[in-house]
Structure 1
Amino acid sequence: MRTAFTEMVGVRHPLVGFSRSPGVVAAVSRAGGLGVFAASPYRPEELDAQLAWIEEQAGGRPYGVDLLVPPATEGGADLLATLRAQIPERHVRFVQELLARYGIEAPDPTRGNGASDDTVRGLSPEGVHEILDVTFAHRVALVANGLGTPPRSMLDGGRAHGVPVASLVGAGKHARAQLDLGVDVLVAQGTEAGGHTGTIATMVLTPEVVDLAGGVPVLAAGGIADGRQMAAALALGASGAWCGSVWLNSHEDVTTPVVKQKLVEATSADTVRSRSRTGKPARQLRSAWHDAWDGQEAPEPLPMQQQLLLAKDAWAEIDRAAETGSPGARELESFFVGQVVGAFGELRSAERITEEIVAGCERRLAELARLLG
């Protein structure tokens, strides 16, 4: 299959595999798609090592990088200390009591656990600049902003290094704003998607963005996990499909076994859009954590950086307890996932998932062509 997107990034199949797991990214690229690596949680030296490993494992095939750049970020030498000081005592107490209710020792809110600090640092202007410097030092085929408007440094860096810049959008007004900036690819992400997402369904959003985009390639995202859904994306006018959740059901994915088992057991109705994990609406597997934050006694989630520090510190303890077999931790456990979670089953390799999606898409397109015969 050849589309404007495959020609732009040099891949055989119009399929993007977005993942925080380097093994997934490399496998998708080896199979002819474009693996895209979630970079924001990593320190610059860690990201450099991960991208070098992906390049080696992908055998030189194209791959990309995605990072989160909120519309407004704060920086400064004392960023983390300042943000932690801004977390209200009520929120700290709520999380501590929630974890205690499920038999988990609560983290010290005045100290970071490493992962939360790295993620928040990666959202700051300094962190974004460092991530982009590392990214453009490698042979990436695409750089994407997964949240908000790409910063000028991303757009300028893309032009300077000949790397297309993509942006995820959840509404027509977002697409228009990104087009005015000069992005090279739009990803129309419907509400079915896992992670940060809006409220418009992929079936409605994709053709709307395609009509606005003119000659700019559009990828459809949200609710795409098999060949039929990829074929539907192409039928809507997209130049390809951007998939994220499906890779959670792969061998290469780094999600903990407890969460993977919960995902396999879930139905498509078991997800929720909630601000309780990142401060912005993000679709994830519903758990006791979300039920508590939806309760009448719960405080409103904080802005993104503070809520990330609060929640990710707590999640480090939840993950640790889950690994030891804590039943309370299992009730709380969750991860970002789309509504396609209901189709999860036996674990497969990421390469096999890629091949089966592409083959299923080709088969369905051929079947549709025969309808015209």
Structure 2
Amino acid sequence: MQTELCKKLGIDLPIFAFTHCRDVVVEVSKAGGIGVFGAVGLSPEMLKIELDWIDEHIGDKPYGLDIVIPAKYEGQGEMDPEKLEQQLRAMVPQEHYEFADKVLAEHGVPELPEKQEARLLSWNEAIGSQLVEQALHRPNCRLVANALGTPPADLVKRIQDSGRLVGALCGRIKQVEAHRDAGLDFIVAQGGEGGGHTGDVGSIVFWPQAVDAAGDVPVLAAGGIGNGRQMLSAMATGVQGVWTGSLWLAVEEAHAQPAQKQSYFDASSEDTVRSKSWTGKPCRMIKNDWTEAWGSSDTPDPLPMPLQGLVSYNAMIRTNQYADKGDCQKVAFNPAGQVIGQVNHVESSRNLIMRLLNEYVEALEYINNLTAD
């Protein structure tokens, strides 16, 4: 199953796996697809450790890097991370920090042994460009994708000049056109049912429109792909591969703690919501008491990106570290698409890929039989 984009990347299967777990990256790439490591939340030093590990374990297989540099965000233009962090901290009302702490306390989430000052995550160009630099001298890292908006032109040039492919996610046709006109090498068209930062147009409507608007630029389909039948549906719209994320949240190699994995197994496809409560931009996640609290009319409104990330910083750390304490999962950050309702047991990454392929073939045979004489 090789498309032109697969051939450029040297992969056997048009399956792109976005994940924050380095083990999943390695296993997917070894199984014939390509793992794409999500770098958001990591410092350049932390990312170096993760990529060093991937390089040591992936052999001669390729992988990718996913970053988040929004097209618009507070503090845009400031390229000194320390100055940007100071500038943004001064913009956060104290009541937002206090409200976040109150929600966590009400749900019995333990405090950290030592209180940590909110740290600016990598939702900005100042840090995002430093993360990309970590990937540009690693032979196995073959692509860089930006999750929010068209990457800055100078960053696009740096990536392409290094011999790598650069692309970006989007949820609207005008964003497809912006990516195309910026000369990106591929576009990830994500329907509104996808996890993380999404638009609100459904996948089956958006995918073929994105293919038409992209012209000669390869398109990958994202959002709502949880089995081989859905993969076949996506490929039938003219895309050159599928970009999957929620599928890998609870695989055998995923780092999520048992309590967090169980929250994925317990969730149905009706249990997700697009909320600004963690990042400041609409992000699809499993709805819980945290999303409900920030969505109430009598509580503080979420701040724009990346200010809300400063507010939620300690909540992310505490709910991750103490995943099985109190009612932690009722206030945890669990980005997931609507296909989370199809994630109900642990399986290895390799077995998951084989299942996708077997289901794809079965679905294709079904269609071919419909048109047979």
| Alignment correspondent of 1:82 | 87
Q: Which has the higher helix share?
A: 1
| Alignment correspondent of 1:5 | 5
Alignment RMSD (CA, Å): 1.9
Query: 2: distance between equivalents of 1:144 and 1:236?
Result: 22
**Cα shift at 1:39:** 1.6
SS at match of 1:156: helix
Runs of 4+ displaced beyond 4 Å: 105-108
Query: 1: distance between equivalents of 2:248 and 2:352?
Result: 8
Question: Structure 1 residues 334, 127: closer, same or farther in 2, change over 3 A?
Answer: closer
| Alignment correspondent of 1:284 | 285
| Alignment correspondent of 1:159 | 160
Question: Structure 1 residues 288, 121: closer, same or farther in 2, change over 3 A?
Answer: closer
TM-score when normalising by structure 2:
0.93
Count residues in correspondence.
366
Match for residue 104 of structure 1 among 109, 113, 131 = 109
Contact 1:287 1:334 in 2 (8 A): no
**Cα shift at 1:54:** 1.5
Which stretch shows the higher mean deviation, 250-259 or 74-83? 74-83
| Alignment correspondent of 1:368 | 367
Alignment of 1:168-187 (within 5 A): 168-187=169-188
Which stretch shows the higher mean deviation, 145-154 or 48-57? 48-57
**Cα shift at 1:130:** 1.3
Specify every segment of 5 or more residues in structure 2 that has no aligned partner in the other structure, as ranges.
none
Q: Deviations over 1:200-250 (max 9, x none)?
A: 011000000001112211110001011111111011111110000000120
**Cα shift at 1:106:** 6.1
Query: 2: distance between equivalents of 1:296 and 1:371?
Result: 52
Query: 1: distance between equivalents of 2:259 and 2:268?
Result: 16
Contact 1:223 1:229 in 2 (8 A): yes
Percent of residue pairs identical: 36
| Alignment correspondent of 1:350 | 349
Which stretch shows the higher mean deviation, 151-160 or 58-67? 151-160
Contact 2:123 2:305 in 1 (8 A): no
**Cα shift at 1:317:** 2.2
Contact 1:284 1:335 in 2 (8 A): yes
Which stretch shows the higher mean deviation, 43-52 or 252-261? 43-52
TM-score when normalising by structure 1:
0.93
Query: 1: distance between equivalents of 2:29 and 2:311?
Result: 35
SS at match of 1:78: helix
**Cα shift at 1:148:** 0.9
| Alignment correspondent of 1:301 | 302
Query: 1: distance between equivalents of 2:160 and 2:3?
Result: 22
Contact 1:13 1:358 in 2 (8 A): no
Query: 2: distance between equivalents of 1:49 and 1:330?
Result: 28
Question: Structure 1 residues 3, 261: closer, same or farther in 2, change over 3 A?
Answer: same
**Cα shift at 1:111:** 4.5
| Alignment correspondent of 1:196 | 197
Query: 2: distance between equivalents of 1:51 and 1:224?
Result: 27
| Alignment correspondent of 1:228 | 229
Establish whether residue 124 from structure 1 lines up as the match of residue 139 from structure 2. no
Question: Structure 1 residues 330, 124: closer, same or farther in 2, change over 3 A?
Answer: closer
Query: 1: distance between equivalents of 2:295 and 2:121?
Result: 28
Question: Structure 1 residues 249, 294: closer, same or farther in 2, change over 3 A?
Answer: same
Query: 1: distance between equivalents of 2:221 and 2:304?
Result: 28
